[in-house]
Amino acid sequence: MRIGLFPSKEYCVNNDVDSIELKHENALKTEVFKIGKSVNGSKHELRVDGATVLLRNLSFGNFSDVQYESSCSCFGIHFLLEGNYEFTSLEKKAKVNINSGFYNIIQWPSIFGKQKFDGLNYISVEIFFTKEFLEDLLGTEYNAFKNFLSSSGKYPKSLWDKGQPIPKRLRVLLLEILNCPFTGNAKTNYIESQMRCLVIEAFLRKEKCVDEKKIQLPAVDYEAIEKVVLYIKQNLKLKLTIKELSKVAGFNTTKLKSCFKKVHQTTIFKYITELRMEKAKALILEQNFTIAQASYEVGYSNPQHFTVAFKKSMGYLPSMLLDSSF
């Protein structure tokens, strides 16, 4: 049974398709998109008994809304590392929004609608599953969510109105999945095992979730923070200062630090450091950069200073990434 939101038979993009390369590694299907100057990137789909995992890493130019459908009722955990997501039912009576850096748990009925992906880059991990899959995974802990999981309706229902910021532990799991260095059965089994960890963490850490009222900001302030985040991601190689970022947001430094922490649950400099380490790790694993090259690309002129920062942030030395057994 195919679970989750997938393209319906009638869907289109605004630009002619140059090529879509399809690869199959056992149960894992990979699509590599090369759609003119509009969309580049990849989508990985893994189907296991009772669940489907979708991994998206896309770069957009001009991409239209795509008609999607959920052919059967299911649940979904949507982690959005970059970009913004919006689902609108065809009758426009229901909407689901997930912002960059947040995740949410959604109850999906059988429904048709349109998905919209916003942002220069769109990186997400989505896990769709049946109630039986979750009950088997959580055991007796499942009872704490019976009310949410048992209620059903005509339109999607979110566990949290505004979603939850992705905490560091979950972010690490997500990046391990997205940057999986294995192939064949090893890759399939690795993603499946990490997926199960993600589902357990997402549900059973509910007592640690942030009170939505504490992170609620006026829309204009939230947009300013997202503008700062985009600026940071595009300029990781440069020296970034609070004063410079305050100008980007249009805030004074005090308001910027306060609003940023409310949204991302960390300080600006810790956030920048985590992004730099994540990018450096991807460069070393995926593009075979040396430690010195990776450190330079994320703003460190001294590889030793980078090594110290990497160990403090990730918990291990970057040299471990050079070991094929990592």
Give residue 292's pLDDT band: very low, low, confident or very high (50, 70, 90): very high
Whether residue 126 is found in the same domain as residue 234:
no
Same domain, 59 and 178: yes
Domain match, 45 and 174 both: yes
> Which among 208, 231, 264 is the end of a domain?
208
One domain for residues 234 and 176: no
- Looking at every residue in the chain, the average pLDDT score rounds to 81
Q: What is the pLDDT of residue 294?
A: 93
Q: Which of 186, 208, 230 is the last residue of a domain?
A: 208
On whether both 109 and 238 belong to a single domain, the answer is no
Q: What is the CATH number of the domain that holds 243?
A: 1.10.10.60
Assess contact for 129 and 90: CB atoms under 8 A.
no
- For the cut 90, the answer to whether the pLDDT of residue 207 exceeds it is no
Distance in angstroms (rounded) separating the CA atoms of residues 171 and 161: 21
What average pLDDT does range 175-196 have in this prediction?
88
Which pair of tokens denotes residue 179?
Answer: 């940057």
pLDDT tens-digit profile of 229-279? 889 988 999 999 999 999 999 999 999 999 998 888 789 999 999 889 988
Task: Provide the terminal-to-terminal Cα distance of the chain, rounded to the nearest Å.
Answer: 34
Q: Is the pLDDT of residue 324 over 50?
A: no
At residue 59, the pLDDT reads 78
How many alpha carbons fall within 13 Å on the CB side of residue 298? 25
Look at residue 111 in the predicted model and tell me its pLDDT: 86
Is the Cα torsion angle 280, 281, 282, 286 positive or negative in sign? positive
Tell me: the pLDDT tens digits for 218-233?
Answer: 878 878 888 898 899 8
Of the residues 161, 186, 208, which one is the last residue of a structural domain? 208
What percentage of the chain exceeds 90 in pLDDT? Answer: 31
DSSP run (H or E) holding 294 = helix 291-297
Cα 221 to Cα 260: distance, rounded to the nearest angstrom: 10
Q: What pLDDT, on a 0 to 100 scale, did the predictor assign at position 24?
A: 42
| pLDDT tens, position by position, 298-322 | 999 999 999 999 988 888 888 888 7
For 90, which DSSP code? T
Residue 291, pLDDT > 60, answer yes
- Of 79 and 264, the one with more pLDDT: 79
Residues near 155 by beta carbon (within 8 Å), at least 6 away in sequence: 89, 93, 94, 109, 111
**pLDDT at residue 288 greater than cutoff 50:** yes
pLDDT at 127: 95
What are the C-alpha distances in Å from 274 to residues 119, 185, 199?
A: 20, 30, 23
Helix residue spans in 94-218 (DSSP H): 131-138, 146-150, 168-178, 184-204, 212-215
| 102-108/111-129 β-pairing | unpaired
Task: Give the C-alpha separation, 56 to 42, whole Å.
Answer: 6
Containing structural domain, residue 143: 5-208
pLDDT above 70 for 214: no
Contact (CB, 8 A) for 164 and 210 = yes
Q: Is 173 in the same domain as 119?
A: yes
Q: Record the pTM.
A: 0.66
Is the model more confident about 63 or about 86? 86
280 and 309 Cβ atoms separated by less than 8 Å: no
Residues 67 and 8: beta-carbon distance below 8 Å: yes
Phi and psi based region of residue 83 (left: phi greater than 0; alpha: psi -120 to 50; beta: remaining): left
Same structural domain, 266 and 169: no
Is residue 203 domain-shared with residue 161, that is, in the same domain? yes
CATH classification of the domain holding 48: 2.60.120.280
Residues in the chain: 326
pLDDT at 226: 83
Residue matched to tokens 């990018």 = 279
Q: Which of 4-8, 139-143, 196-200 has the lowest mean pLDDT?
A: 4-8
Segment 173-179 mean pLDDT? 87
Does 12 or 224 have the greater pLDDT score?
A: 224
> What pLDDT does 61 receive?
63
Mean pLDDT of the 154-178 span: 85
Q: Greater confidence, 230 or 18?
A: 230
Where are any strands of DSSP class E within the chain? 5-7, 19-25, 28-35, 39-48, 51-60, 66-70, 74-89, 95-98, 102-108, 111-129, 157-158, 164-165
Nearest to 127 by CA among 184, 185, 209, 45: 45
pLDDT of 155 higher than 90:
no
pLDDT in tens, 19-78: 334 444 455 776 555 544 566 788 889 988 899 999 988 877 655 566 666 667 889 999
Residues 62 and 195 reside in one and the same domain: yes
Q: Is 83 exposed, middle or buried (0-12, 13-18, 19+ CB in 10 A)?
A: buried
Does residue 240 share a domain with residue 114? no
Q: What is the pLDDT of residue 272?
A: 93
- Is the pLDDT confidence value at 16 over 50? no
What is the domain count for the chain? 2
Helices (H), ranges, 154-252: 168-178, 184-204, 212-215, 219-234, 242-249
Same domain, yes or no, for 80 and 152?
yes
- Pair 190, 305 in one domain: no
